[in-house]
Amino acid sequence: MARGWAIPTLALVAFAGAACDLNIDFDKRRLADQPPQPASPEEMPVRMCTPVAPEATPEYEAMCRHYCDELEATLTYAGKNQEPTGAVSQSCWELRCAPRCVSQETCGQQCHALGVAYQALCSGVEVAPDTMCPVTIDARVEACLVGCGLAGPAPEEPPPDVAR
């Protein structure tokens, strides 16, 4: 029975060894050839987003700053933020807000991601002002959406013309 496996095993070893010297790209370079020189900084394309706003208005800047703060909060709730407080938010501002990459839709998506992280952290935990979970999950997501301009603040009292 061992003889039945010997030939396929030897064939596999032979083909694997031969494969190491095959052409590995479309430029017909071999593994023994020198790698291509990296492109100079002038030749490398600049990676930028397509701006979602024609100009940075105060409303856009407030929404985007809120997005960055909530991104940092999401990473913190998830236990993935190893940076000093405010560092992620500032980096986000420079990389995403200054070139106007963040749409209201993106901000709203961030709120829902924040809700998932907040729920994982706060499930089964007492909601109280002096705890790590000062508000309910729904209230946290709603506050985030308000900051994105996607929801209005909840009214304290119903309008006077609404019958109770």
pLDDT digits (tens, 9 = 90+) for 55-79: 999 999 999 999 999 999 999 999 9
Assess contact for 77 and 71: CB atoms under 8 A. no
In this structure, the chain runs to a length of 164
Q: What angle do CA 69, 147, 81 make, to 5 degrees?
A: 20
- State the pLDDT at residue 94: 94
| Dist. CA 162–CA 96, nearest whole Å | 43
DSSP annotation of 136 reads -
| Dist. CA 13–CA 7, nearest whole Å | 10
Write the pLDDT tens digit of every residue in 134-152.
999 999 999 999 999 998 7
- State the pLDDT at residue 7: 73
- State the pLDDT at residue 17: 55
Four-residue CA torsion sign, 140, 143, 149, 150: positive
Assess contact for 31 and 21: CB atoms under 8 A. yes
Write the pLDDT tens digit of every residue in 100-137.
999 999 999 999 999 999 999 998 888 999 888 999 99
Q: Hey, what amino acid is at 37?
A: Q
Whether the per-residue pLDDT at 35 is higher than 50: the answer is yes
**Banded model confidence at residue 20, pLDDT cuts 50, 70, 90:** low
- State the pLDDT at residue 13: 62
Segment 25-51 shows an average pLDDT of 70
**Banded model confidence at residue 25, pLDDT cuts 50, 70, 90:** low
Q: What angle do CA 76, 49, 67 make, to 5 degrees?
A: 30
| Dist. CA 115–CA 139, nearest whole Å | 10
User: What percentage of the chain has pLDDT greater than the value 90?
Assistant: 54
Segment 143-164 shows an average pLDDT of 72
